[in-house]
Amino acid sequence: MRSLDLHPIFRNNRDIELAMRQFLFAAARSGDPVAEIIPGKGSGQLKRRVLAFLDQKHIRRLYLRHSEDPKNPGRVLVHFREP
């Protein structure tokens, strides 16, 4: 499973968006059924930013659905279509 940890770049909006965009395109091409984005628990501000990014129409086309990890609310799971 591919993983993107946003902790090291949480202060820079441009870096966060670029990292998520590159990660999602690479994960969609890889054929893995699930990838994870780790915004962390914290105040939830970064997680809201991740979810807003994922809900953009042009990004939504890359994956099937996203969900919160039931065991760890600091992880967002992105589910891809089977190739």
Domain carrying residue 17: 2-79
pTM of the model: 0.91
Higher pLDDT, 1 or 3: 3
* Mean pLDDT, range 18-38, rounded to an integer: 95
Our count of domains for the chain comes to: 1
The one-letter code for the residue type at 66 is H
pLDDT of residue 33: 95
Q: pLDDT of 7-27, one tens digit each?
A: 888 788 889 999 999 999 999
Domain containing residue 40: CATH number: 3.30.1370.110
Phi/psi at 40 (5° precision):
90, 170
pLDDT of residue 83: 66
**Nearest residue to 77 (alpha-carbon basis) of 66, 64, 63:** 66
